[in-house]
Amino acid sequence: MAQGSNTCSDCSGLGTVNCSSCSGTGRRTVFEGEDDDSCLSCHGSGNESCMTCDGLGHITCVYCEGYCKLKCYIKLTILWTNHLQDHIVGRTALPDHLLRNVQGQVAFQEQHFRVWPINNFPDADINTASQRLVAEHATAFPTERILMQRHQVKIIPVTQAYYKWKGKDLDYFVYGFDKKVYAPTYPQQCCCGCTVL
């Protein structure tokens, strides 16, 4: 039964402990060789009030702070996660990872609770990739609740430029609206480099 207090461990609930002056005997030697007198601290009883509980024999419960009730709660943690997946249709030697973070033109975008695969895009590879991605996401996260899906097709311009240097046929790429340059075969790699305007 809730009482809001616990038995004092120092006095075992008695409210008193042995007198510290006479060690619980009730008597105290005044001068050596003389008879013992009654202890002035405990008045001969051998006990004094427990300082931990102020002589009450119990102390306030540290968990409920004397209110006899505890507040309980269940902690719920919600993690919001975006599962991103993409497919790049590239027909040049430009590495796919370079195209992921550049700007391009959004040719198609759909956002719903559940998106449908694209099936009438002019490029058949896009339609196939769309069907695969939507099917994978439908079963990939069985313990998670899907709140919203977004499907997007982005067209990134890629220009491949050919040039001749010291009799060698070389090329480089300019890609994205950012006009970034990828020139792995640039002949002057050890000097100050080059800037494409």
58-88 pLDDT, tens digit per residue, is 998 888 888 888 888 899 988 889 999 999 9
Asked if the structure places residue 99 within a domain, the reply is: no
pLDDT bin (cut points 50, 70, 90) of residue 47 is confident
Please check whether residues 65 and 127 belong to one and the same domain: no
The answer to whether residue 80 is domain-embedded is no
**Do 112 and 58 reside in the same domain of the chain?**
no
Q: What is the CA radius of gyration of the chain?
A: 42
Per-residue b or e along 41-69, where b marks 16 or more CB atoms closer than 10 Å to that residue's CB:
ebeeebbbebeebeeebebebeeeeeeee
Element (H, E) at 164: strand 158-165
Q: Quote the domain boundaries for residue 119.
A: 106-154
Amino acid at 28: R
Q: Flag whether 140 is in a domain.
A: yes
- Structural domain includes residue 26: yes
Q: Please, are residues 17 and 53 in contact by the beta-carbon 8 Å criterion?
A: no
CA distances from 60 to 5, 15, 57 (A): 4, 14, 11
Measured CA to CA, the distance from residue 77 to residue 80 in angstroms comes to 10
Query: Does residue 53 lie within any of the structural domains?
Result: yes
- Give the pLDDT band of residue 187 (cuts 50, 70, 90): confident
Whether 20 shows a pLDDT value over 90: the answer reads no
* Domain contains 2: yes
- 155-165: average pLDDT: 93
Boundary (domain end) residue, out of 46, 72, 98: 72
Q: Quick one: 65 and 12 in the same domain?
A: yes
* Better-predicted residue by pLDDT, 27 or 80: 80
Domain count across the chain: 2
- Percentage, residues of the chain above pLDDT 70: 91
Question: Does 111 fall in a domain?
Answer: yes
Q: Is residue 197 part of a domain?
A: no
Please state the φ and ψ torsions of residue 26, each to the nearest 5 degrees: 85, -5
55/110 same-domain check: no
Q: Are residues 61 and 119 in the same domain?
A: no
The token pair that represents 28 in the structure block: 């105290």
